[in-house]
Amino acid sequence: MKLFMLKAIMIAAVMFISVLFGMQQANNGINEMKGYEDAQFEGAFSFQDNKEGELEASILGNDVSSHDLEKKKEKIEEIRTYNFFSSLGKKLAEMVSFTTEKIIDLITGLANGK
């Protein structure tokens, strides 16, 4: 069992390192394809300090502030639409839990009764 776990961890580590290496190679390939270094070409996320000492975030070149996130959160809370599949899933989960609980109670009752 220990040998299997060691092999599994080693394979996962090799896969993780391979993915990181592939991402770096893709980034290098994109830079080579452009043919020049662009100072404005940054990663997907960037963080900068503004004049007031606050941290500003940028995702894919679009500025994001906490006020934007709060507005989106309020909008989502206002929408609160009824999701049919979500409620169906909750009812199904409750039914399965109730049925399983009753079956376990029945089995334990029969086992204790003998």
Is the Cβ–Cβ distance between 46 and 60 less than 8 Å? no
The reply to whether 10 and 29 lie within a common domain is: yes
Other beta carbons less than 10 A from residue 64's beta carbon: 13
| Average pLDDT, consecutive stretches of 10 residues, N- to C-terminus, the chain (114 residues) | 93 94 85 69 64 68 66 73 78 94 90 74
Domain range for 101 is 83-114
Q: How many domains does the chain have?
A: 3
* Chain segment 66-94, per-residue pLDDT in tens: 666 677 777 777 776 667 777 888 899 99
The reply to whether 76 and 46 lie within a common domain is: yes
pLDDT of residue 12: 96
Tokens of 28: 């290098």
Is the Cβ–Cβ distance between 31 and 42 less than 8 Å? no
Other beta carbons less than 10 A from residue 58's beta carbon: 15
Tokens of 107: 């089995």
The reply to whether 97 and 107 lie within a common domain is: yes
The reply to whether 1 and 32 lie within a common domain is: yes
The reply to whether 21 and 52 lie within a common domain is: no
pLDDT of residue 40: 61
